[in-house]
Structure 1
Amino acid sequence: MTVFPSKLRQSPLKTTLLYSALIGVLATQVVGCNRGIKPEAKEPVKLVKLAQPLAVLQPVLSVDVGSKGASSKDPLDLQVGYGEGRLIASSRGGVLSAHDTAGKRLWSVDLKEPVTGGVAYDVASQTAIVSTRSGRIIAVDAQSGAQRWVQQLSGSVLTPALIHNNRVIVSANDGFLHGLSLQTGQSIWQFATQVPAVSIRGSAKPTLLDNDTALLATADGRVHAIGIESGIPLWSRRIGLGMGSSEVERMSDLDAMPIVDQGQLYAISYSGQMIGVDLAAGQVMFVNEAASTRALAVAKGMVFATTLDGAVQAYNRTTGEPVWESKDLTYRQLTNPVAIGNYLAVGDLEGIVHIFDATTGDIVSRVQTKGALRSLQVQGNLLMAQSSSGQVAVWQVAR
């Protein structure tokens, strides 16, 4: 069943025609597995003490960037930028600061407005990008904190930018994807997407398909492939398919960033579809029933998910067959799963990071920071997180 062309750099018209056939094919596969798991106000499961915890992670640094000045309506999942021994983070209230690996503050600047999108850090140009509640995109010099440029958008941005090929790509909550000049902030292109009447407040971070193409997941359940330099749409695919009599029941948000790994694309929707696609072969590998707003992780021949009700699941990355499932963290408002070393890490509402044996699904270790966690980041052998209370923690795999 051909669904994705093996040659991605075809003309936009030809690519659009090739992809149009996928809409009906994919819809027939997911319509029967569309029950989805809707979040409910249920008590988080109590944790069971680990009998013999392993020493998997050791602390590198912990700094408090604060949370003063932020509204409770602002997103809690701010992310940090890291590179060449420098960590850049923003408080929810809008104080941007840089720290060395010992936690020493190198500089700090008050942006005078709450930050909603977290930090994107481009080491090559030494540029840090953040976005504010009012829709301002601000670029600062990563060495000094000096402001380089500001661009005002029509909507606020709730996730970090993608910086690539001299473009700053951001997804605004009014449905527009923007491509800005990394040097000046000038708007180079815009791409409009459909905005449903009802959706989850959140958005997926743009990510790379290849060196020339960005992927954007949107609130209407679609994944779009966009030319990074030109902003030309190459193809658009529906993944989330919500069903029901009300607009709430029909929500099909893709708030989880799509994952591309070794020529395979993985995505998961709020409405209950997880899909794996072999891009080179042009085939849908599987469509499973799983619902999440958190990005998937791929490692050890498996794809991992944290579901809306707090299950941690592992599937075979090519067949989609279940490998293991853990319900030890039910209703604990889990972060995205991330692979680090031979393990899988997942954070929760109490600032606890649970370390799973990726092969068996057993929890083998835990570490903790202060405040609820909404996302985890991995860079090399480092695990990073920023909590709702403004605590930034970095751990590394123990040797």
Structure 2
Amino acid sequence: MDRKYKVSFALAVLTLAMSGCSIFNKSSKTEVIKPNPLPKIEQTTSLAQVFSQKVSATSAEDPLRLRIDADNDSLFTLDPKGEVAAYRGNQKVWQTQVSKQGLSSGVEAAEGLVIVGNKKGQLFALDQSTGAIKWTAQLSGALISSALVQNGRVIVVANDGTTYGFDSASGQQVWTYKLPAETLSLRGQASPVSIDSRTVLLASSNAYIYAVDSLSGVLRMQLRVAVSDGRSDIQKLIDIDGEPAVSGKFVVTTSYQGQVTVVDLSVQRVIWSVDASSINRPEISARQVFVAEDGGKIVSYDLLTGQKLWENDQLLNRKLSNPVILGQNLVVGDLEGVLHLIDPSSGTIVGRAKSSGEVRTLRVIDNQLFAATRTGALSIWQNR
């Protein structure tokens, strides 16, 4: 276990404790801030569950975001105890015990491969058709975020900030790029994100984003996207743990104790920035940016101007997941497994569905909602 990993884990626990309690008298008793009750709504839309699978849970103090993926009409799931499985529909096609050391990254499936990793820095590439392990690699730090497979490269960021590019066919290491590593940081690491077929975007705990050539690892751009006015080491934390969202020439980032920032890649500069704290990936749809803040507020901004279009504070202290657009609705999950459907034009909650356990990850693939919770509930939903 690398040093940064241990410091980040302890700090994450401290941060959660600080956000969940407030000191209110001299005897140092704490008052737990309770999540808002579910608001009464007039449900006008709902979701239908089309897939459900249970895997092992992760610790409540562990902020891992397990992720399932789909490719070539197959679904690929991961169990933290070390197994990877493939499904077609609801039928299991194969299951492979990959690591006795467990697995700690999300799944990335592309170019005939399924990529997963663990806390020991071991990276595994499996054959999508059979589940056979095609190659493995040893990295310099824990793997707690998903890889990216792009243009014949497997790109992955270790928790010490070292980014690796491997040849997807052979597993040979082609390049590395070292992100700056902060002494103190939240335990988390944004996954690499594709800008185009030759460029990958990396986000770091120092509030910078980096554009790197995916084939060679050559740096093409670096840009600071958040600043901190904190005084103590903890107050100065300004990690980007949620993946940047990319839409055309625009990149949107969120940061802990920092800002929501929009960058114009064509001129490589920030076009607007607004103070907000979030460790989740933002969402972009048309000309709107959606952010689920750490405290539970959901805010929509105009992509081009940064003007606040609406905010919803009905879900405060419910530990919201990243927001995603599914069809005509915005969806966000919470600590009780509730999936909230929100009208993106007004911020009004228009429906809900129920999963099991704290929702850690949402993503949309082929107009279906993929959800993963801390308790190991993996599910897929679609609009009714």
User: Do the two structures share a fold, i.e. TM-score over 0.5?
Assistant: yes
Partner of 1:191: 177
Partner of 1:63: 53
Residues 1:45 and 2:58 aligned together: no
Structure 1, unpaired ranges of 5+: 1-37
Cα distance in structure 2, aligned partners of 1:210 and 1:356 = 30
CA contact 2:225–2:270 (8 Å) conserved in 1? no
Partner of 2:15: none
Give the C-alpha shift of residue 107 in structure 1. 1.1
Cα distance in structure 2, aligned partners of 1:196 and 1:40 = 25
Structure 2, unpaired ranges of 5+: 1-17, 22-32
Map 1:97-136 → 2, pairs under 5 A: 97-101=85-89, 103-111=90-98, 112-122=100-110, 125-136=111-122
Q: Which amino acid aligns with 1:286?
A: W
Cα distance in structure 2, aligned partners of 1:225 and 1:214 = 6
Relative to the length of structure 1, the TM-score reads 0.86
Q: Which amino acid aligns with 2:292?
A: T
CA contact 2:46–2:353 (8 Å) conserved in 1? no
Partner of 1:96: 84
1:343-388: per-residue Cα shift (whole Å, max 9, x none)? 1000111111100001010011111111111110101210001111
1:160-200: per-residue Cα shift (whole Å, max 9, x none)? 10100110111111110111111122111111121111110
CA contact 1:74–1:116 (8 Å) conserved in 2? no
Q: Aligned match of 1:214 in 200, 209, 217?
A: 200
Partner of 1:344: 330
Cα distance in structure 2, aligned partners of 1:244 and 1:108 = 48
Q: Which amino acid aligns with 1:159?
A: S
Give the C-alpha shift of residue 283 in structure 1. 5.0
Cα distance in structure 2, aligned partners of 1:73 and 1:55 = 33
1:148-171: per-residue Cα shift (whole Å, max 9, x none)? 011010101111101001101111
1:17-41: per-residue Cα shift (whole Å, max 9, x none)? xxxxxxxxxxxxxxxxxxxxx8344
Secondary structure of the residue that 1:39 maps to in structure 2?
Answer: helix
Relative to the length of structure 2, the TM-score reads 0.89
Secondary structure of the residue that 2:200 maps to in structure 1?
Answer: strand
Partner of 1:81: 69
CA contact 2:175–2:217 (8 Å) conserved in 1? yes
Q: How many residue pairs get matched?
A: 355
Map 1:121-200 → 2, pairs under 5 A: 121-122=109-110, 125-200=111-186
CA contact 2:85–2:93 (8 Å) conserved in 1? yes
Identity level (%): 32
Q: Which amino acid aligns with 1:147?
A: I
Q: Which amino acid aligns with 1:349?
A: L
The answer to which of 286-295 and 272-281 deviates more is 272-281
> In angstroms, what is the RMSD of aligned CA positions?
1.5
Aligned CA distance change for structure 1 residues 328 and 72 (closer, same or farther; 3 Å): closer
Partner of 2:309: 323
Partner of 1:22: none
Q: Which amino acid aligns with 1:305?
A: V
Partner of 1:11: none
Secondary structure of the residue that 1:285 maps to in structure 2?
Answer: strand
CA contact 1:199–1:251 (8 Å) conserved in 2? yes
CA contact 2:53–2:379 (8 Å) conserved in 1? yes
CA contact 2:281–2:323 (8 Å) conserved in 1? yes
